Structure 1
Amino acid sequence: MSAPPAPGFRLYLLRHAKAGWALPGQKDFDRTLDDTGFAEAGMVAEMAADRGLAPGLILSSPAVRCRQTAEVFRRAMGEGLDIRYIDALYTGADDTYRDIITSQGSLASLMVVGHNPVIEEIVREILGEQAAAIPYGYPPGALAVIDFHDRPQAGILPPGKLVAWLDPKCHVR
């Protein structure tokens, strides 16, 4: 039996891990991961690395909780993994995320670390009925790995296939 063909493009969509509430006078942008968030991000990152699920590039919101989540993944997958921080991923809507994803040239795989509700909206758009496999929304720290037969182009994300769902609340190591 031959191996399945490599996907035209693989997209990793990661919602930042669990963060604490803003302290008095603290901006939402500066919220940090709490202890549970760090632990769950580490667990999901290790599970992804153990399964060979490693992107070619990470694009992250610059919000502190997203930066911390992205760094946990870089440590698990190798310090050589490049992380780029994109301001528009902090406040952008689904069309902004779509444009950022589709403008990444010839990369074979890409991880986007961002915020809800946009991450969930993008996943539901790409997966359509397959999104029923994610019945309880998109929890903090969860990772969807989606393969596309064809590369997304010009702000359009074609239907994709969910090949992995790593949810820290459903996986106990």
Structure 2
Amino acid sequence: MQLIVMRHGEAGWHTLDQERELTEAGRMAVGRVAHQIGESPWRPALIWSSPYVRARQTAGIMAEILNAEIEEKPFITPDDDPGLCLDALLENPASPLLIVSHMPLVGSLSTLLVDAHRRGIPFMTAQAVALEMPVIGPGCADLKTQFLP
């Protein structure tokens, strides 16, 4: 399975957490990453997005540039258990797949898949990492590349 895990673009702080919107700089950074992914062998046909506004906006930009479909998933918000996402991947191993979410989930999910623990690595806004897994499970992924804004 090929999986890209991405943190949403930069968002403003002027409202409730779930309603925060991307800044103009955030939109531009997401667009740059989308173009990098589009020129790579990792181009996804499906995007899973957090229901938070900034993640949905990020997924929308990615979908437009990559010509991909979006599915909103309620279990990939900032403080969700990465194990729930792992369970969903086992049930629906679409590949390549792009997950657009938040810190700390993107860090803990990536670390769970690569190193089999949940401490979590840091992600910049609009950063994405490409993982490849022969089988889906903790510690089964190899970090292949990253996409930076």
TM-score scaled by length of structure 2: 0.88
Q: Whole-Å Cα distance in 1 between the matches of residues 96 and 32 of structure 2?
A: 21
Alignment check: 8 A CA contact 1:148 1:158 kept: no
Q: Whole-Å Cα distance in 1 between the matches of residues 45 and 90 of structure 2?
A: 15
Q: Whole-Å Cα distance in 2 between the matches of residues 63 and 118 of structure 1?
A: 13
Note the aligned Cα RMSD (angstroms): 1.8
Match of 1:100 in 2: 88
Match of 2:28 in 1: 39
Q: Deviations over 1:42-89 (max 9, x none)?
A: 0000011012321131111011100110011111111xx210101222
Q: What amino acid is the match of 1:122?
A: L
2:125 aligned to which of 132, 140, 144: 140
Q: Is the radius of gyration larger for structure 1 or structure 2? A: 1
Q: What amino acid is the match of 2:9?
A: A
Q: Whole-Å Cα distance in 2 between the matches of residues 16 and 101 of structure 1?
A: 20
Identity %: 23
2:41 aligned to which of 52, 69, 87: 52
- Number of residue equivalences: 144
Secondary structure, counterpart of 1:149 in structure 2: coil
1:159 aligned to which of 134, 140, 149: 140
Secondary structure, counterpart of 1:141 in structure 2: coil
Alignment check: 8 A CA contact 2:2 2:42 kept: no
Q: Whole-Å Cα distance in 1 between the matches of residues 89 and 30 of structure 2?
A: 22
Match of 2:3 in 1: 11
Q: What displacement does 1:108 show?
A: 2.6
Q: Whole-Å Cα distance in 2 between the matches of residues 157 and 82 of structure 1?
A: 27
Tell me whether 1:117 sits opposite 2:98 in the alignment: no
Structure 2: give runs of 5+ residues left out of the alignment.
Answer: none
Q: What amino acid is the match of 1:14?
A: M
